[in-house]
């Protein structure tokens, strides 16, 4: 009796103990499941983070590969419409453009590739080498070939210096302007400054020989030309000056600087007479030089012929190339005329009294 009563009394306590153990076990299982779920979520987060890092790594590798290809010159020309805004200059040249190349090595290696700037680079690179060689030969002529060797070599040297600076800045700009927007901006300003140096340098020997017996007007005209040239250089340093919208303004500034020579030309023709000006003063060569320069500037400003043949002059014979060719031709014509002036002065022996000074 007592045993059965004890068994009954222990039954509920035993059941409560089993129930408590079951509850604890279930909670432990729930805790374990939560921990496992948390671990899985952490692993998923880690895998997603690793995936993002892996994608970033691959992107960096692709960028490095792109830059490496740029350095090795294994790039392809691209159409105008995919160029960044700072590389868009002439929307009539539809194909054959270089992509942005953030490597000077790649830019200079592109000289030997075919693209829209190939002709622009080589016309002034070869022109620069030509005037360097011509200048060396001329400047090392014997002193006996000049009336006043020191003065004459300085004034003719000013022309050679202006021509070489102009052509050097030009081909360098067309070589590296695809490097970056900042590099393009710097070299475009040098390019425009070089044009002003060529114009100013061209005035020096012509004024010296034309007003050989009238130093005062020669000096005044030189000062005026230098002031105008410095003004043109100053304006060309503004960032807006290089934008496509100001193409006509650029051409007008430099044509205007060149046409400032009309005043001393008329002065010389009035005082010396038309016949003497065209023979002794070599006005024919001076006029031809002006025609070449102005024609080139007009073609450049109007973007002829590509305006009438979009996509047909992308590589060869577009307006900028023709402008370059005419600049080199005009500079050589000017040198020829100045050489004739120097020969005349040497033949005259430097005398002024018998010529009737101005």
Q: Which residue ranges make up the annotated binding site for Zn(2+)?
A: 174, 320, 324
d(C-alpha 78, C-alpha 96), whole Å: 6
Using alpha carbons, select from 107, 126, 88, 112 the residue that is nearest to residue 327: 126
Tokens of 281: 């003063």
- Give phi and psi for 164, each to the nearest 5: -65, -40
Measure the CA angle with vertex 107, ends 105 and 109; round to 5°: 70
Quickly tell me which residue has 């005398």 as its tokens: 351
Tokens of 90: 């002439």
Contacts of 215 (CB under 8 A, 6+ apart): none
Q: Which residues of 275-292 are buried (b: 16+ CB within 10 A; e: fewer)?
A: eebbebbbbebbebbbeb
- Give phi and psi for 78, each to the nearest 5: -130, 160
Instruction: Give the residue numbers of the binding site.
Output: 174, 320, 324
174, 192 contact by CB (below 8 A): no
d(C-alpha 11, C-alpha 102), whole Å: 87
Contacts of 79 (CB under 8 A, 6+ apart): 94, 95, 97
Using alpha carbons, select from 191, 224, 209 the residue that is nearest to residue 89: 191
d(C-alpha 269, C-alpha 229), whole Å: 24
Helix ranges (DSSP H) in the chain = 2-72, 104-109, 118-139, 149-176, 181-210, 215-236, 247-259, 262-272, 274-279, 283-302, 319-348
């Amino acid at each position: 009796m007592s045993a059965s009563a004890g068994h009954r009394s222990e039954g509920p306590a035993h059941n409560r103990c089993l129930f408590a153990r079951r509850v604890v076990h279930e909670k432990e299982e729930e805790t374990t499941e939560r921990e496992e779920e948390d671990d899985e979520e952490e692993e998923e987060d880690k895998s997603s983070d690793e995936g993002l890092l892996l994608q970033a790594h691959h992107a960096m590798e692709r960028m490095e590969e792109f830059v490496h290809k740029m350095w090795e010159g294994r790039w392809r020309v691209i159409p105008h419409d995919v160029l960044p805004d700072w590389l868009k200059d002439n929307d009539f040249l539809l194909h054959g453009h270089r992509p942005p190349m953030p490597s000077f090595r790649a830019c200079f290696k592109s000289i030997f590739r075919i693209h829209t700037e190939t002709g622009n680079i080589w016309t002034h690179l070869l022109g620069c080498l030509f005037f360097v060689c011509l200048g060396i030969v001329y400047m090392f002529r014997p002193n006996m070939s000049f009336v006043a060797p020191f003065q004459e070599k300085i004034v003719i040297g000013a022309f050679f210096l202006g021509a070489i600076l102009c052509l050097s800045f030009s081909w360098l700009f067309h070589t590296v302007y695809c490097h970056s927007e900042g590099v393009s901006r710097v070299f475009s300003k040098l390019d425009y400054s070089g044009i002003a140096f060529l114009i100013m340098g061209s005035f020096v020997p012509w004024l010296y020989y034309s007003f050989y017996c009238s130093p005062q007007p020669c000096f005044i005209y030189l000062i005026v030309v230098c002031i105008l040239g410095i003004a043109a250089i100053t304006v060309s340093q503004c960032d807006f000056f290089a934008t496509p919208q100001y193409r006509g303004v650029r051409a007008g500034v430099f044509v205007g600087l060149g046409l400032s020579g009309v005043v001393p030309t008329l002065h010389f023709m009035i005082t010396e007479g038309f016949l003497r000006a065209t023979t002794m003063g070599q006005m024919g060569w001076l006029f031809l030089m002006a025609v070449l320069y102005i024609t080139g500037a007009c073609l450049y400003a109007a973007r002829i012929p590509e305006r009438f043949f979009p996509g047909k002059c992308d590589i060869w014979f577009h307006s900028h190339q023709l402008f370059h060719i005419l600049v080199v031709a005009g500079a050589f014509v000017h040198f020829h005329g100045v050489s004739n002036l120097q020969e005349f002065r040497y033949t005259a022996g430097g005398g002024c009294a018998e010529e009737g000074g101005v």
